[in-house]
Structures are given as C-alpha cells and as structure tokens.
A and B are shown apart, each in its own frame.
Chain A
C-alpha cells in the first residue's frame, strides 16, 4: 500500500484553494482563471492518487482537453459580457431579489366568514322576525342545481 507524499497533497490542496478563491469573485475572467486552476488541481489529484494506473491518466487526459473546451466557452461568455456592458462582472440578479421583496398577498378571506358567532339569542323567536339577515343558502342553490 502506497501513500501520497505531503508535498503533492499540499500542491493539490493549494490549487483547489486558489481556484475556489478565484471562482468566488465577480469578474468573469477571474472565475475563468479559477476554473482553469481548479482543473489543474483535479488532474493532479487524479494522477497522484492513481499512481501508475493508466486509467486515471487517460481520464486526466480527457479532462485536460475538455477543460480547454470549457475554458474557451467561458472566455466567450466573458467577452460577450464585456461587449454588452463594458465590463465582465457578474451583476446581482435583480429578479431573484424581487422574489423576496414581494409583499405577502393581501388576505382576502371574507371577514363575515362561515363560522358566524353571532349572539346567542337565536333560539328566542318571541320578538317577531329579526331585522338581521339570516345566513340563507338560497343564493347558493342556483349552483347546486336547485
């Protein structure tokens, strides 16, 4: 069983740290550079942990070429951003922000709701018909097919 030497672990870790740090910036160019550095770190990781195994090497080779393709694509994005806005910064997404600023939709629940809690004198009909409008269901009947 072999083990990785400390130097290589340090180099790989350092490359990842630098790459992540670059990717956390706003400039698309720096994000691109971060991506490249991260790619280097990954390839080195694949190779050093794989040792003499040819399969990780083949994978790393593939990864190098793919990284090149993605790099050019990111580059085109940065270029386009610069052409459109004069810089290559990634601006904040205003739409995203606005979701959080939405006011809660107005509470349109009816105030005179079905659970009416009128006073308790309903049972005494002695005083003649009340002026109060009863909760008739007549208006609902049309819909129920009545």
Chain B
C-alpha cells in the first residue's frame, strides 16, 4: 500500500520533466499510478469485504513510537476506489483540457493530489492521517493558485489554505487529545475500543471543526465557491473525490466509535442538514454553471456528513451509497461543464442556449449524471435517496425530530438545482441566439461519460452496491427486531417511495415556477454573507497584528528589558511558590566578620544606582567588588577571593582609562514618574525573588554534592587544590572554551576601539580628524652636549626607558621608582602563583592576572613606549600562543591513544601544568591586548 503512495508521488515528480517531450501522452503516464491502485484495490476487495482488513506497518521514528500504519478496510476500500478511479478519469480528461506549458505541472500536482489523498484514506495512525490531511491542503493550494500571477486565483487559494489550515490545526489538537485519552494513536484500535468521558467530547468537537472546514460546512463553506476560479479538472477532482471528501471520510471513520458521545450527533446533524438546505437554496441563484455545482457540492457534503455521522446502520448504508453516487455524478457534471466551457467558450447560463441540440452526446451524459443527482430511478442516486429516507424515518436517529423534514427540503432543492443545471446548460432560451459550439472529441467526453454510466449500472445492480457498502455499515448493530436494511430498486409501495415521488414532483415544480420563486426569494431577508465574514476576519487579524506590534514593539531597550525581567520574575515566583517547602530555621548571620563587608557591599551597590557622577559610580562598583572578595575570604574560598581582587583591580583600571574621556556626569534621564516606579519595582522584585530562591535552594538541597567524588579523584591528579584541579583537569574542556571566549572578547574590543585607526577623533564624528594638537611638553629638553664628566651627577640610566615620552605633568617620580623596583618582583610572584596553584590558592588565571597587573603598572607610568620596550612581542601572538599551548596540551594524549585533555603525572609534574601555563600566557596576552586598545581609546 505504501509503495502505491510512493509511486504516485514519484511519478508526480517525473511528469513535469516528461511533459515537454511526451505532450499529451504525459497525462497517460500520470494516470498509470491511480489505475494500478484501482486494479490492486479490486484484487484485494474480496477479502476486505469478507472482513479481513489488510494491514501494513513500517517503522518511521521508532524512538517516538511513530509508525507508518496503513490499513485497508471496507470504508478505506470504498474511498480508494473513488480516489483512484476518479483520479484516473480526471487525469485522462486533463489531456484534452489543458494545453500549453503549464500542462506538465498541473498533471504532476493532480497526481500528487491523488497520492496524498490515497495516503489519507488508508492511514491508520492519527498523526499520519493528519500529515496527509495537511498535504492535501498544500497541494490544493498550489492547484488553485496556479503558476501564473493571477490575483483572483491567488486570493482564492489563500482563502482555501487559511480556512482549511485553521481547521487542520484545531483538528490536530483534537487528534492528540483523542490519542492520549485512548492511549493509542491507531485509528482501528480507537474505533474498536473507543475511550469515553474525560476530555473526549472536547477532542471530538475539535476534530469535527477540522472536518467541517475541510468539507466546506457552514459557516466555513465560503472558500469552496471562491475556489471555482481553478481549472475545471482541479474542481472536478476537488469536489468529487479529494479534499472535501477528506472531512466526510473522517466523520465516517470516527462515527462508529463516537457517534454516541454527547455533542457529536447534534453537531453533525445540525451542521450537515443546515448546510444541505441552505447550500442548495443558494445554488438556485447562481448563473455560473461551475458555481452552481459548487453550491450543490456544499449541499451534498452536508447531507453526507449528516448521514455518515448519524451513527445508525441504515444511515451509514445510505451515506456510503451517496458517497459513491456523489463522486460519480459530480465528477461527471464538472467534466461536462469543462467540455461546455471549452467548446462553447462560456459557462454562463445566461449566454448558453440550445446547446442540447448541438452537443447531443454531452447532453446525454449530463442528463444521466444530473438524474442521478436528483434521485431518479433506476440510478444510483435513487437507491441512495430511498435509503436515506428510510434511515431517518425508521432507522431511529433519536432526539433530533426535525431531521426528516430537513432532509426532505434539501432533497427537493437538490432536484430543483439538477433541473436548473440541465436547463441552464442545454435548454433553448427564448430571446437568446443559439450558442455556437464545436462537438468535443470522443476522448474528451469519455472520462465524463464513464462515471455517469457507472452511476446507472450500479443503480441497476443494487446487489453489487450493497456488497460494496454493507460491510462498512455492519460496524453498527441494526435496531433490535429489524432486519438489516438492504439496497434495492423496489421495496414495494411504502411511505419512502411516496416521499421520493413527492420530492421529484416538488423539485420539478420549483424549477418550473422559478420566476415566482425568485420573487419569493428576494422578499426574504438576506442570509449573512460568509464571504464578507471571512474578509472581515482577515482584515481584523491584520489590524490586530499592527496594533499589537505598536504596543509591544516600542523600540526602547529599557522597556524590552523590563518586560523580559518582569516575565522571569512572575514565572519563577509562581513556580517557586507552588513548589516551595516550608522554610526551616534560618540563621540571621553566620559570623560577625561577614557583617561589615556585607554592609559595605549593600551600601556601595545602593549608592552606585543613585549617583550621577560617572567615575564615582565606577569606583562604587569597584567597592562592591572588593566587598564581595572580602566575603569570599570569609567563606574560605581563597581561590575565588584572589581572582576577584585581581579582576576587580584590573576592571577598575581599564574602565577608568576609557571612561575618563566621557562626560563626567550621566545625561540626566527624564522618564515619567511611572517609569521610575516600574523600574524600581522590577528591580526590587528581582532582588526579592533571588533572595527567596537562595533561601529555598539551599534548603532543598538534599543529595550530597559531587565534592566527595572530586576529592577521591583529587589524589590521582597529585593536586591538593580541588578548585584548580577542576579548572585545569576535570573540567579542562570548559576552561578551554572559556579562555577562547576571553580571547575573542579582547579581539572584539580592539576592533571596536581601533576602527578609527587609533588616531584622534572628536566625538560625534565617524572619520578621523587631525585637529591642532598641543605639542607634548617634555620635562627636560635635551640638554646641550657637554662632556660626560659634566653629567657625573645625572643618572646614566632612566628608571623606565620609555617614560621620557610622557608629558611632564603626567609623571610621578615616586611611581616610576616604585614600578621599577616592583615590576620584577610582581612577575616572579605571578610565576609562583602559577605553580603554587597545584597546592593552594593560585593557578594560571591568578598568575596571569598578577603578571598582567605588572604590565598595567608599567603602562600607567611609562605609557605605550615603555610597554612596547618591556613586552616587545605582539599581544595577539602572546594570547594566541597561550591558547595554542593549552589546546595542544589537551591534544597530546591523542597521540598516545588517550582521551583528549586527560592529564598524566610524570615526575611529580602533572601535564595539566602545561595547560595552566597556556592559560597564564593567554591571560597576559589578553591584558596586553586590552592595554593596546586602551591606548587607542586614549588617543
């Protein structure tokens, strides 16, 4: 079965390529897969109808329990016959209908349509069914829209897409709910053992909405008449076999299991019969033959939904017969309409006259088909009509007393619209000249004649029809005491026969008295226009989207941040409060020593938020940092404290170096009082949330930490400092990523600052401007040459080589002396820290930061020149070299068959030391790079 679906899609992909070479024969190729499916279905029909459903299954995503389950049971068989039979006919018909370049594309998509429709009707898995369902929507969109830019067709396609996708998504929700309620996504299992109660009724309503949109039930019907702008073969297939039949199929599929669940029967009968009556009523007003048929389709789909959804055996028989009959007569009538349009040049019934005499064969086919639609004996439509009257008169659809009346009214109107179609297409109209028309080729008309003839044949052989439709209906128990209903042309003189005759007579009378009817109709109030409703809702959606955007998309960064934070706070609070255990005993403080730094931290943070002076705010933030470092010390986290102190100092220096050029005060902001309050409220709420979270999180921690595990492994590394061991060994990959990020930010900083080439520029200007510059004032002009003895009291060597280039006002002798003395010591200390990290607080980060501080000191005192003298290598090379060293160390074990980044101890020296040295070098390089950027910013 799956092979057949794939064959459809494969050939569909090939046909557009073959079409230019094969011409009309391409359509024959396209008709092959449906024909093959038809033959295959006939070979399986006997066993399936005897109660042996065919089943196939293929693993799709086994991990998710998704399988491609397909199943051929009597209902599926009936649908496969319709889909493939009509599909083959429409493709044969298309060979004569289409001409020109687009033919290949249309053939391909029509075939694809047949393929996905085939998949839909054999799918036995809810999600597979949904997939094919949406594929039919997509393919029909492409078929209606066509390839060329045609506003009307595009808009019609869009409407069909929006309506059916809306229904499809609703249905998906219902399908998932149903699948969960029944604990199975297999359709056959769900029907055999239908779940009850819970949210099953809701699921069914959602699924029905999907079915109603797809089958153009009121009030979702407006897309179908609009879609009539599509070419006739597309319309024929869309109406007779595919797309709209999908909704009917779904109702027929689920009804045996769920018709008894509360809102189902009321919904399908109300929607179906209302649509049946109003659709046919509306059809009587149409002047375009295709639109007349389209409204007729809406009406008949309503009837099918009502019959197949009613949930009684006789109604199911009637529904199945009508499903078949409708597919046959409607495809035939559409194809006839296409023939008329093609040969006479119009399908407007106000321009067609006396076509019956000119196209007798076409007329005969149309009469046969329309008679079946009207329910004239001995055609298939008549058998169906008898059955459906019987279903609603005797079959026992409980609780909805008006159904027979609505069914009768709808049937009468159907007779009238059949008569109107024949009259409109073929009759001689007084005052109109005969319409010129060429006779169609026999091969053009034949595809229309076949279903019409089949309708007659099946009507004459009610036994065959009964065998085809009965097994589906046997899913229902016949009412107690009654014999199961069997199709027949003659049931004797019964009420039902009388009703059928009355229907015909009344319908014909309605057609004959059409002028009076028209006058009566115009005196009635107009029905609400569904098309207008669709347009209004689309317009409303657009207006809503724009006004929503206007509210949310204000372009203000603080606003966006406020929204994000408020959301985080609200959601977290809800989660926290819903899952929080009652807090136990909480200490006020752990030790007295923490109170002072805590007060400093809080005070400095509060002041930093309020102060308007830029550098003061920076210094206060620094105070916060140092206070936090003190707290780290108080908690015995010495590694952290060390790093925090170093980083804080470095941050301060860099920030001050850059920010001193900016205006000394922040630009006064003038947010509204409300804005200020909202800001403060969000900030306070976030703070409270985090504080509560911290309290709850520490209490909720029940399992021990990973620490014992690390402690055990610590011995293997030979290290005594767990934190350092984690950084350079256990989680070395993290560290590698981290130092890469560090390098990238440094590169980013340099590129951002150096974009002006490092030369001077005034703020507000993008291009470098060399303005008049004050010449540097040197403290000492070069003294005139004297003999060396004259300079015996002057230093032979400067404390710092490059310092002479700095303006004198910026120099401080004390700092120069101190720097000269301290610089080597600091470097030695940094190396000590690097190696000591193995045993106590220290490591690559701390060492690198200390060394970096040494260079910062040289820079502050001696400027760029001095830094260049003391660190003559390009900072980029230093930093990159550090990364290469660290990464290389990690890769070395690969050469010896080990895992990357695994460390070994060798002569008391762990290889992770080499990794740590890489970190050290990288940090130094990054700091040098940042200093060079600061130099660029200073300029």
Contacts and interface: CB of A to CB of B under 8 A. Distances in A.
B650 interface: yes
Contacts of A37: 605, 608, 621, 624
Interface in A22-37: 22-27, 29-30, 32-33, 36-37
Interface string B643-662: 11001001100110011011
A45 B102 CA distance: 67
Given A49-B698, A61-B643, A145-B103, A18 B350 contact: no
A11 B554 contact: no
B756 interface: yes
A16 B690 contact: yes
Contacts of B558: 24-26
Contacts of A10: 598, 602, 691
Interface stretch (B269-277, B579-587, B781-789, B814-822): B579-587
Interface stretch (B168-176, B496-504, B511-519, B902-910): B511-519
A108 B522 CA distance: 29
A145 B608 contact: no
Contacts of B528: none
B523 to A, nearest CB: 10
Contact of A57 (B429, B605, B639): B639
Contacts of A119: 522
Nearest to B553: A96
Interface stretch (B85-93, B194-202, B723-731, B827-835): B723-731
A63 B398 CA distance: 72
A72 B722 CA distance: 29
A117 B528 CA distance: 13
Contact of A109 (B155, B614, B682): B155
A14 B686 CA distance: 9
Interface string A76-103: 1111101111111110111111011110
A3 B698 contact: yes
A104 B694 contact: no
A100 B755 CA distance: 34
Nearest to B526: A117
B694 A96 contact: no
A20 to B, nearest CB: 4
Nearest to A46: B640
B184 interface: no
A30 B612 CA distance: 10
Given A4-B695, A65-B643, A143-B146, A72 B531 contact: no
Contacts of A29: 614, 617-618, 659, 662, 666
A75 to B, nearest CB: 5
Contacts of A97: 553-555
A83 B518 contact: no
Nearest to A71: B651
Given A5-B590, A69-B742, A24 B683 contact: yes
A125 B431 contact: yes
B935 interface: no
A57 B637 contact: yes
Interface in A1-60: 1-27, 29-30, 32-33, 36-37, 40-41, 43-45, 47-55, 57-58, 60
Given A17-B686, A144-B232, A65 B845 contact: yes
B466 interface: no
B574 interface: no
The listed residue with most B CB atoms (<10 A of its CB), out of A54, A66, A77, is: A54
A114 to B, nearest CB: 6
A40 B345 CA distance: 81
Contacts of B617: 29-30, 33
Interface string B313-338: 00000000000000000000000000
Interface string B730-751: 0100110010011001101100
Given A58-B726, A86-B764, A145 B100 contact: yes
Interface string B588-611: 111000110010011001101100
B886 to A, nearest CB: 14
A4 B933 contact: no
Contact of A120 (B232, B345, B521, B741): B521
Chain A: interface size category: 35 or more
A13 to B, nearest CB: 3
Contact of A62 (B225, B605, B735): B735
B44 interface: no
Interface in B49-98: 97-98
A81 to B, nearest CB: 10
B877 interface: no
Contact of B601 (A15, A108, A124): A15
Contacts of A95: 555
Given A4-B695, A86-B763, A77 B752 contact: yes
B606 A72 contact: no
B346 A11 contact: no
Interface in B531-586: 531, 535, 539, 542-543, 546-547, 549-551, 553-558, 561-562, 565, 583-586
B776 interface: no
Contact of A3 (B585, B636, B667, B710): B585
Contacts of B561: 23-24
A146 B225 CA distance: 21
Contacts of B723: 54, 57-58, 61
B347 A137 contact: yes
B635 interface: yes
Nearest to A62: B738
B687 A66 contact: no
Given A29-B666, A57-B640, A79 B431 contact: no
A66 B741 CA distance: 8
A61 B752 contact: no
Contacts of B606: 14, 18
A136 B662 CA distance: 75
Interface in B899-939: 923, 926, 930, 933, 937
A23 to B, nearest CB: 6
Given A24-B562, A76-B752, A122 B287 contact: yes
Given A11-B631, A100-B550, A64 B644 contact: yes
B748 A73 contact: yes
Contact of B350 (A8, A86, A125, A140): A125
Contacts of A7: 588-590, 594-595, 598
Contacts of B347: 137
Given A48-B694, A53-B706, A43 B348 contact: no
A49 to B, nearest CB: 5
A120 B694 contact: no
A25 B689 CA distance: 21
Given A55-B707, A135-B287, A40 B602 contact: no
B609 A21 contact: yes
A61 B727 contact: yes
B753 A80 contact: yes
Contacts of B546: 100, 102, 104
Interface string B624-635: 110010011001
Contact of B625 (A40, A121, A145): A40
Interface string B141-161: 000001010111001000000
Contact of A123 (B515, B529, B742): B515
Interface string A110-144: 10011111011111111111100011111011011
Contacts of B692: 9, 13
A109 B542 CA distance: 14
A76 B748 contact: yes
Contact of B683 (A17, A130, A136): A17
A3 B695 contact: yes
A3 B583 CA distance: 9
Q: Which 7 pairs, one residue from A and one from B, show the smallest C-beta to C-beta distance?
A: A17-B687, A13-B691, A100-B550, A96-B555, A21-B683, A93-B555, A54-B722
18 contacts: A8-B594, A9-B692, A12-B694, A13-B691, A17-B688, A20-B682, A48-B635, A51-B698, A52-B636, A54-B710, A57-B637, A72-B930, A72-B933, A73-B745, A76-B753, A115-B529, A121-B518, A124-B518
